[in-house]
Amino acid sequence: MIVTVTANPSLDRTVSLSAPLVRGSVTRAQSARHEPGGKGVNVSRIAQVAGVATVAILPAHRSDPLLAALDGVGLSYRAIPVDAEVRNNVTITEPDGTTTKINLPGTRLAPSELDALTELVLQTGADATWVALCGSLPPGVPAAWYRDLAEQLASQVARVAVDTSGAPLLAVAQAAHAGHIDLIKPNAEELAEISGTDAAELEATSASGDLRPTLAAAQSVQRRCGCTVLATLGAAGALLVTADGAWSATPPPIVPVSTVGAGDATLAGYLLADLDRVGPGEALRRAVAYGSAAAGLAGTQPPTVADLALGGVTVREVARAPA
């Protein structure tokens, strides 16, 4: 079972335009979608459509529209009650796939609510194979919460994956050497942040096909943290670095519709592949196939197995651990 934790969930509205966005102008939308969102929710929705047992954990009061939306898609979830409504995020997509996202800060969690959320994660995680800690933290939650939660989960069987950014990611990366975290999934900007490298250089060199700077950054993080690093690189694909070696994967050609949720789909694809006990190269292939499929869909709707173009993903081994 995959348990996901979304401390800062959202209701996502995606507005699709028929022409490029012009700031300060009146723009007519072509269509709009409303979907339950948050990085962990997105991962659980993909696991659900793949037929894998999953539970999404989040804070929301019983009459929150987000829970009604989760009921509408049939997703299994457990929620701790909070007073305020879950935030609403807005995504604007243009015809060429350019995506603009506006995220609100989220609902502040009181200490008692955070304690309840922590206890719920520990209880539910006892039956999980993977616990994925995903997304930003709302106001009132210490930056080290994911790190501390991973330490508490260490006594259980579940492995822990983390997909976050900023101060929570830095706290995780600094503590991951203790062995409490099994996987982190940064994008190029986040990888630069935790490796002390330049984000613009990693993005530019990866886009040009030169993965050496990004590989070196990911390897430095893997050695320091002792966990697997799954680095997503947008149109350049992804890198997977483990203690045994490193693999790169380039995606199949797609027409991008919305990049929101593509990284979440990549993580979901990797976790699903891991449950199937495939090797690292194949796990990366499936991860990139899921991420690419998500980028070709409107909004944050979960890609299905039928959406995957596995044959179009090229995987190669780019480094091997010394014998």
Reported residue count of the chain is 323
CB burial string 108-132: b at 16+ within 10 A, e below:
ebeeebbebbbebbeebbeebbbbb
Report the DSSP pairing between strands 77-80 and 54-59: parallel
Instruction: List the 245-250 sheet strands across, edge first.
Output: 77-80, 54-59, 2-6, 130-134, 159-163, 183-184, 228-232, 238-242, 245-250, 314-320
Q: Which pair of tokens denotes residue 105? A: 């800060």
- The Cα 133–Cα 99 span in angstroms is 24
Q: Do 89 and 12 contact (CB within 8 A), yes or no?
A: yes
Whether residue 148 lies in the annotated active site: no
CA distance readout (Å), 24 to 15, 21, 27: 17, 9, 9
With tokens 């080290």, the residue in question is 144
Q: Do 6 and 67 contact (CB within 8 A), yes or no?
A: no
The one catalytic residue in 12, 64, 182, 264 is: 264
Nearest to 4 by CA among 125, 113, 153: 125
* Helix or strand run (H / E) with residue 59: strand 54-59
Sequence letter at residue 27 = T
Find all residues with CB under 8 Å of 74, minimum gap 6, and list them. Answer: 48
Residues recognised as catalytic: 264
